[in-house]
A and B are shown apart, each in its own frame.
Chain A
């Protein structure tokens, strides 16, 4: 500790260089922590999926719907236990207008995207049966099933808007076929579900379901199909076989299908294209390596311009190991500062993303409502920062360790 003031004084010698190095290191750790937190959130989301659930969608894109008639035909495939029609509603609370109460829906033409949350029209009975993790009180379930306008909302969502069972609210979809000419859809909270976080970590409760029949009826029975079909199968080991059998059914139809496990579907939905983890890790590695080179260069310069001072330290009795330790400690301290700034920045940007209107909604739309800097990611980021500092300082420090006093004094 008695050497700490000595190290700090050296860091202040060229504060522009020190600051830029710390910022470079901070940028690296910021990217690392942010990307890893996104990956952790995605992993958590994917972990909440079940191996015995499949999703059947249009083979071209999620944008295209599948005919309602497919439900019965999928149900006939051997190994299929249940089929539930599902459509992503994309609804949002109507914007509050001057002089009118929020959520009245009267003459609403605009939408409050700042309060966007995932909401889906589902064939309720089979759907909720294949998602036993959603724990709904029996009486509330029955009330929901009996009310066409009924909605099941997750606990987090209910808490967010202060909804209680019996409350009414309005939603308006951004998808044209799901919009009513006479204004937003009216819903009544009939059930609030909980999820055991110990058994099902990562399962989101900021989501809402309502009857697909309501969507169909309210839009004047003009819908010609559903977005996807959720399929529960008897045996998870036969997922591949059943998926192929379902897709084979519609091979010669206009709307060919693509059936995959819920996990694969969720991963595809989040990443949309390519391997998100590989991409993000690749970016992280490239940035880390670049910063390593930058910091190593900075430390080399710092050591090179202090050759005489290193010779003086050794002349005064500092051992080569002590001199090496001082150089490494200086580099590690740069890493420490960069790490702290980077971690703080990462936490800040994630707070901003999860609170900024528009971005928050986009994240919520793909289920990333809980985007936070995970403690283990922060610790890992800090360790990476210290390692980068150590690695960057090691080679120049080794040079200082090996250098002879007389050689260094001769360069004066």
Chain B
């Protein structure tokens, strides 16, 4: 147990050292986000700032309604801040048009959902191939890349299976393969283990570690699970729309 803890400490220290020289991949500055419901304004993020270095693995924690998912959505470019700047991979996402933002997402961000959100009528390979339909790759190239992504997540033997034929953990692996198939710079994960049993959750977290360590993916993960957060290099706690540490 002590040896494992020591190895973990060394690994985190090494990651810390390498991050010190890395560029900032995610730069959130003084961001406010207010939702409007009829005439009522609901502030969710209140002047929040956060920097994530390239190759980092960050966990966002906090109680429900604290703004974790909203922050994640802003970083992923699927929502826009009311004010402030969200710069990801050198692009201020708030400045992009709707179509430019969609194109930017397809190239720079991989999104992992809590409930996997695979398309039920598509096989594992077809689900993974989906983001590649937006590229100029040939059908053969698309299929090859999807197969490679499935190999990375250890599901090459389930390529032709449909979501209903897979377990929750396997579905999430396919979802991760879909997120990495375009080789994005940033992976954002919204409670990726929230719908899984402990064993499957452990496998998913290990996979995310591999993606961060071996494939150099910058990962921002929202989670309620302290054990999942413990896999990250750093943890940030949100409360009522502001970072507490």
B residues in contact with A404, CB < 8 Å: 79
A residues in contact with B104, CB < 8 Å: 317
A residues in contact with B6, CB < 8 Å: none
Complex contact B133–A9 (CB within 8 A): no
A residues in contact with B134, CB < 8 Å: 316-318, 322
Partner of A320 from B98, B117, B126 at Cβ < 8 Å: B98
A residues in contact with B148, CB < 8 Å: none
Partner of A315 from B111, B119, B121, B182 at Cβ < 8 Å: B111
Complex contact A317–B103 (CB within 8 A): yes
Question: A9 vs B79: C-alpha distance in the bound complex, in angstroms?
Answer: 29
Shortest distance between the CB of B143 and any CB in chain A (Å): 12
Complex contact B99–A317 (CB within 8 A): no
Complex contact A317–B121 (CB within 8 A): no
Q: What 1/0 mask marks residues of chain A from 4 to 21 whose CB sits below 8 Å from any chain B CB? A: 011001101100000000
Question: A314 vs B111: C-alpha distance in the bound complex, in angstroms?
Answer: 11
Complex contact B107–A317 (CB within 8 A): yes
B213 at the interface (CB under 8 A from A): no
Shortest distance between the CB of A282 and any CB in chain B (Å): 40
Residue of B nearest to A412 (CB): B115
A405 at the interface (CB under 8 A from B): yes
Complex contact B99–A316 (CB within 8 A): no
B78 at the interface (CB under 8 A from A): yes
Complex contact A2–B139 (CB within 8 A): yes
A6-B133, A9-B121, A316-B105 given as contacts; is B99 within 8 A of A406 (CB)? no
A111 at the interface (CB under 8 A from B): no
Chain A at the B interface: mostly helix, strand, loop or mixed?
Answer: helix
A161 at the interface (CB under 8 A from B): no
A319-B103, A406-B73 given as contacts; is B120 within 8 A of A13 (CB)? yes
B residues in contact with A409, CB < 8 Å: 113
Shortest distance between the CB of A27 and any CB in chain B (Å): 27
B residues in contact with A285, CB < 8 Å: none
Complex contact A405–B131 (CB within 8 A): no
Complex contact B133–A3 (CB within 8 A): yes
A10-B121, A318-B102 given as contacts; is B178 within 8 A of A405 (CB)? no
Residue of B nearest to A9 (CB): B121
A321 at the interface (CB under 8 A from B): yes
Interface residues of B in 120-168 (CB under 8 A from A): 120-122, 126, 130-131, 133-134, 139
Name 14 interchain pairs, CB-CB below 8 A, sorted by A: A3-B133, A6-B122, A6-B130, A9-B122, A308-B117, A315-B111, A316-B105, A316-B131, A318-B106, A321-B99, A322-B102, A405-B78, A406-B79, A409-B113
Chain B interface (Cβ within 8 Å of chain A)? 73, 76, 78-79, 98-99, 102-107, 111, 113, 115, 117, 119-122, 126, 130-131, 133-134, 139, 178, 182
Chain A interface (Cβ within 8 Å of chain B)? 2-3, 5-6, 9-10, 12-13, 308-309, 311-322, 404-406, 409, 412
Q: A312-B117, A317-B103, A405-B78 are in contact. List 4 more A-B contacts (CB 8 A).
A: A9-B126, A12-B121, A311-B117, A322-B102
